[in-house]
Structure 1
Amino acid sequence: MVTPTHPATPAADPDTSPVLIGALVPLTRPGWSEAGHHLLAGLESAVRDVNASGGIAGRPLALEVRDTAADPEKAAAAVTELAAAGVAAVVGEYHSVVARTAATTAAALGVPYLCSSAVLDALVTDGPTDHVARIAPPQSRGWRLYADHLLAGGHTHIAVAAQPSVYWASGTEILRDHLAPHGGTVTTLDAAALAPEALCDALAATGATALLLLVGHPEPAVPLVEAVRADPRLPGLLIGAPAGQPEFAEWGRLLGADGAGVPFLRYLPETLTPLGARVEQELRTHLASAPSFVAFEGYDTIVALTDVFRGHGVDRDLIAKSWPLVDAEGTRGRIRFTRPQGTHVWQWTWPPVQIVDRDPAAPDRFRVLRADQAA
C-alpha cells in the first residue's frame, strides 16, 4: 500500500506592510510653525530609530503627516481622514484647543490618540476615555509651579496681556487661584483690543510688577516686549511667557537682548537620559539648531506608542486598553501612564518641568530658575 503524500502547506508570507501613524503638526501660520517643525523632527527621528531596530514585528512604522495650521476644524477633518485610511493611532499636535478637538474626534471614532505637546487640562470634556493619552503635563501642573516662582520673587500683583482663547483663559484662572491665597492679584489686559503702546499705558496704571504674555508668537508677543522694554514708566518690570515662546530660536533672532530675562516653562529634566543625550545630538544636526523640549516630546511619543505596539499589537481597541501597561525609557525619564484624579485621559505621570529664561549676559544661553523633576 502506498501512502499518498501531500505537499507541505506553504507558510503564510509575513506581513511587511507599514504600520501607519497619523501625525498632527502645525507647520504653517497661524500655527506656531517653529514648534510644529520641532515636533515633527522628534517624531520622525524616533520612527527612523524604531525602523532601524526592526520595526514592529518586522513591519516598518510610517507617518502620515497632516498640517493643522492651528485650526481645530482642520484637525477634526484630518483625524477623520486618517481613521478612514487605517492608521493604528494618531499622535502629535502642539496647540491645546486644536488638540482638544483632535482628541474628541479620535475618541468618537475609536482611534487611539497620543497627544504630544498640548497641555490644556480638559483635553476631552465628554467624560473619561481610554482612547486618549498624553505625554505633556497638564497646564495646571506647570502653571502652578510658575505661580510659585512669581511669589518667590516677590511678585503678587500680576498683569496678563491675553488674547481670547480657552487656553489663555484657563492659564489666567490657574494663576489667579494659586496666587489669591497669598494675597496675589491678576489683572487682565486685552491684547486683542489694545495696541502695544496703549497696553503699556494700561499696564503702567495697574502698578503690576510682572507682565505675563498670554499671546501668540511672533505677533503680538514681539511688539509687546519691544514696547514694554522701551517704556520709561516700566523700569524693572518682569516680563514672563509661561507658554514657552522664548524657547525657540525665532524669539532670540527677533528680540536679541530684549528677549532675555523672560521666564518660561520648559519640559526638560536637569539631565537627559542616555537615550536623550544621543537623540539631542541627532536632532541638533537635523534642525541645525538646539532642539526644543517640543522635539523631545515628539520623540517620546513614538517611544511610548512603540512600547504598546511591540507588547500588545496594533489593533486599535487593544492599544486603547494598553496605556496603563506602558513602561518605557524615554529621552527625559521613564514613561508610565496613570489616570490622575479628575483627569479624563491617560497621563504620563510626570514629565519634568522647569522654569527657564535666556541669560541677559548671553541671550543664546538658558538658565534654569526652578525645577520640578517629578518624572
Structure 2
Amino acid sequence: MSTPHLAVPHAAHESSMRGQLNGILFVALFAAAVTSVASLPAIAGLGMSPLIVGIVAGAIYGNALRDGMPASWAAGVNFSARKLLRIAVAFFGLRVSLQEIAQVGLSGFVESVVIVVSTLALGTWAGMKLMKLDRDTAILTAAGSAICGAAAVLAFESTLQSKPHKSAMAVGSVVLFGTLSMFLYPVLNRAGWLHLDTLGVGLFFGGTIHEVGQVVGAASNVSGEATHIATIVKMTRVMLLVPVLLALGMWINRAKKPAAHEAAHHAAKPRKLAVPWFAIGFLACVVVNSLHVLPETATHTVNLIDTFALTMAMTALGIETRVSQIREAGPRALLTGFILYVWLVVGGLGITWAVERLFA
C-alpha cells in the first residue's frame, strides 16, 4: 500500500537537488566564459588569472542581474563557493614539488617563511588595530598578500567560514597591488634601485609579489633564470599554506573554547575541531607530485581541471558578494592592503638583502 504523505517530501527533495545541480551547471558555464575572457591577450598580458576575472565578473552579475537567477539555484552557487573550493585547493598541491623547492635551497625557504609570517602578523594587527576591520577581513587581506593571492584567500575563507564580501575585498587588494608590482618591480630593477643579482631578483620577486602569474609576468622582464628562481620561491610560499592553515584552525578552535563558568554546560557536547582537512589533501598532492607517481600529461590535465574548479569557486563567491557590504569596509581594507604593500616592497627588499648576505 502506498504512502502518499511521503510523496511530498520526496518530490521537494528531488526539486531541491535539481535546483542545486542547475546552480552548479550555471556556475560552470559562467566559469567557462570567464576562462575564455581571461585567455584574451589584453587580459592575460596584465597577469589577470581566470580566478581574478571570475570574482569580478561574478560580482558584476551578482549585483546587477542576480534577481534573474532562480532562487533554487542558490544552493548550487553556495556548493561551488564552499565545498568545491576545498577540493580545488587540495589539488592545487600538484603544482608544487619538494624537488623544486630544494633547488633554491635554504635561502628561498628562509625568505618565504620570514615574508609569510611577518606579513600575516602585520596585516592582522594593522587591519584590526589601525583600520578597525573585523578579524576575518583583516586575516583574509593579510593572507592574500602573504602567501599566494586569490588562492590563499579562498583557502582562508573556507577555514574561517567568513562572508563572501570579505573575500572579495581581500581579492581586490591582490588585484590592485599585485598588478602594480608586476609593472613596478622590473622598472625598479632596470633603474638599478634594487641592487640585486639574479638570485636576489628571484628571491625578491617570488617572495613579495601576490599571484603566481604576476610573479612570472614580472620576472620574465628580467631573465629566464630569474623567472625560474622567482617561481620556485613563490611555490615555496604556496607550500607554507598548509602549516599556516593548520595553525589557524587550532587558533580558531582555542578561541571558541567555552568560558570557565560555561564549561560544565558544554562538557557533554564534543566541540568540532576547526582543522582544514583540505590542507592535508594539499600536502598529500605535493608528495604525490614530488614522487612523480602521475604521468606529466595527467598532472597537466588535473591542473587544468583544478584551475577551472577554482575559477568556479571564485565566480560563485563573486555572485554571492554585495557591493553594499564591501562599501562599508572598502577604504579601510584597501588601506590595510596598501600598508602590507609598502611592507612587501620596502621590508621585503631589506629581508632579501639580509638573506643574500646570510647565505653568501
User: Do both share a fold (TM > 0.5)?
Assistant: no
Q: Is the strand fraction higher in 1 or 2?
A: 1
TM-score, normalisation: structure 2: 0.31
Is the radius of gyration larger for structure 1 or structure 2? Answer: 1
TM-score, normalisation: structure 1: 0.30
Query: Which has the higher relative contact order, 1 or 2, with Cα contacts under 8 A spaced 6 or more apart?
Result: 2
